[in-house]
């Protein structure tokens, strides 16, 4: 379930757009006309009703320069629509995949029936940007439909490669930042994604029978999948969840250089705010039970960490510590 990451929730170019598990569900190739006849509603009608104002992370916030906000919101609406399709409670898997395929076709210019795809396509064209990051996120949503279990940490990181890392890379591209910033950005986005997995582990299991907790981590703690259905984590499950939070904390430590690496002041401030959110959430997950205790930031906490992150980054830049990345060619 891609995201709460960056500004974004799902919360991600390179590698196959359709990993092996994306073929576990049979799909008949459809022409544009056949898609239109089969799909009786638009993708928009499958939205959960959640908007960028409902996320517990900043989406195209006032910190970001106004010239970037329309493009970022177009990207968010496309991703949110695809995410809601993948997480739809009653839509059959083959229909979910057909909708995701249709969004991809129209993002690539094959049709104009799905407004989220058309709006993003046009917004990207205005900036001469390719759709690669949006296409990568679609790969993650296909995985959500077809892959319900993860064997180990590496499989979870592979999922994050498509669900979360492209979101950070998109934001960096929008601001003309160097690809040298991608390493730290990938760590931040993956950390945010796994935080979200831990926060929502019970809900994902009960509503979608989807479990991102690695099977080997559950086994090492003596936990079972069925424990996710309990009102409170039994000790083996709590050990597993908190061990994964510790591992996520180490991942987030790899992203702490990102704000200093970017050239854009506003983006650097936004990144500092998001890093502060991520660090606070992972600290909560290290000591609390996601099944029975609050592990999301309250509005007051979000405000406090927003101010702290923003002031800290502004102070860092004011004393002359310069970004460490090199300018991207053509940026």
* 70, 123 contact by CB (below 8 A): yes
Q: What is the pLDDT of residue 299?
A: 85
Q: Does residue 330 fall inside a structural domain?
A: no
Query: Tell me: the pLDDT tens digits for 194-250?
Result: 999 999 999 999 999 999 999 999 999 999 999 999 999 999 999 999 999 999 999
- 51 belongs to a structural domain: yes
For residue 100, tell me if it sits in a domain.
yes
Q: CA 105 to CA 35: how far, in whole Å?
A: 10
User: Domain for residue 326, yes or no?
Assistant: no
Distance in angstroms (rounded) separating the CA atoms of residues 58 and 113: 29
pLDDT reported for residue 321: 59
Neighbouring CB atoms inside 10 A of 129's CB total 16
pLDDT at 148: 97
Please indicate, yes or no, if residue 273 is contained in any of the structural domains: yes
In this prediction, residue 100 has a pLDDT band, given cuts at 50, 70 and 90, of very high
Give the model's confidence band at 298: pLDDT under 50 very low, under 70 low, under 90 confident, else very high: confident
d(CA 7, CA 10): 9
Residue with tokens 């757009």: 17
Q: What stretch of H or E contains 5?
A: strand 4-5
Buried b (16+ CB within 10 A) or exposed e, 42-72: ebeebbeeeebeebbbbbbbebbeeebeebb
The 10s digit of each residue's pLDDT in 118-140 is: 999 999 999 999 999 999 999 99
| pLDDT (0 to 100) of residue 306 | 77
Is residue 329, in this structure, part of any structural domain at all? no
Number of domains in the chain: 1
Q: How much is the average pLDDT of 303-308?
A: 78
In angstroms, rounded to a whole number, what is the distance separating the alpha carbons of residues 72 and 253?
Answer: 26
d(CA 94, CA 246): 37
pLDDT for 10 beyond 50: no
Residue 32 sits at φ, ψ, to 5 deg, of -60, -40
Q: How many CB atoms lie within 10 A of CB 215?
A: 14
Q: What is the dihedral of CA 272, 277, 278, 279, to 10 degrees?
A: 90
pTM of whole model > 0.95?
A: no
In a domain, 324, yes or no: no
Its domain, for residue 38, covers 4-318
Is 102's pLDDT higher than 50? yes
Indicate which CATH number applies to the domain containing 204: 1.10.600.10
In a domain, 22, yes or no: yes
| Number of neighbouring beta carbons within 10 Å of residue 127 | 11
DSSP 9: E
């Amino acid at each position: 379930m891609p995201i709460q990451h960056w500004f974004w929730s799902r919360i991600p170019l390179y590698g196959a757009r359709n990993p092996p598990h994306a073929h576990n569900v049979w799909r008949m190739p459809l022409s544009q006309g056949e898609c239109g006849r089969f799909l009786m509603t638009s993708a928009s009608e499958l939205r959960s009703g959640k908007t960028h104002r409902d996320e517990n992370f900043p989406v195209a916030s006032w910190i970001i320069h106004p010239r970037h906000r329309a493009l970022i919101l177009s990207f968010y609406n496309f991703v949110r629509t695809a995410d809601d399709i993948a997480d739809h409670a009653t839509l059959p898997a083959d229909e979910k995949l057909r909708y995701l395929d249709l969004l991809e076709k129209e993002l690539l210019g094959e049709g104009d029936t799905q407004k989220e795809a058309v709006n993003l396509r046009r917004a990207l064209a205005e900036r001469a940007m390719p759709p690669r990051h949006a296409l990568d996120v679609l790969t993650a949503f296909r995985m959500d439909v077809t892959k319900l279990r993860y064997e180990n940490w590496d499989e979870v990181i592979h999922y994050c490669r498509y669900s979360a890392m492209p979101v950070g890379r998109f934001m960096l591209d929008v601001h003309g930042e160097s690809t040298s910033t991608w390493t730290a950005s990938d760590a931040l986005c993956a950390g945010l994604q796994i935080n979200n997995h831990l926060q929502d582990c019970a809900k994902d299991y009960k509503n979608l029978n989807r479990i991102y907790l690695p099977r080997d981590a559950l086994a090492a703690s003596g936990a079972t999948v069925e424990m996710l259905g309990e009102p409170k984590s039994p000790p083996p499950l709590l050990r597993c969840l908190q061990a994964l939070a510790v591992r996520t904390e180490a991942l987030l430590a790899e992203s702490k250089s990102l704000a200093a690496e970017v050239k854009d002041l506003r983006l650097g401030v936004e990144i500092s705010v998001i890093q502060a959110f991520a660090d606070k959430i992972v600290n909560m997950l290290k000591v609390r039970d996601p099944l029975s205790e609050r592990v999301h930031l309250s509005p007051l906490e979000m405000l406090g960490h927003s101010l702290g992150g923003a002031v800290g980054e502004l102070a860092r830049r004011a004393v002359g510590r310069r970004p460490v990345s090199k300018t991207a060619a053509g940026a």
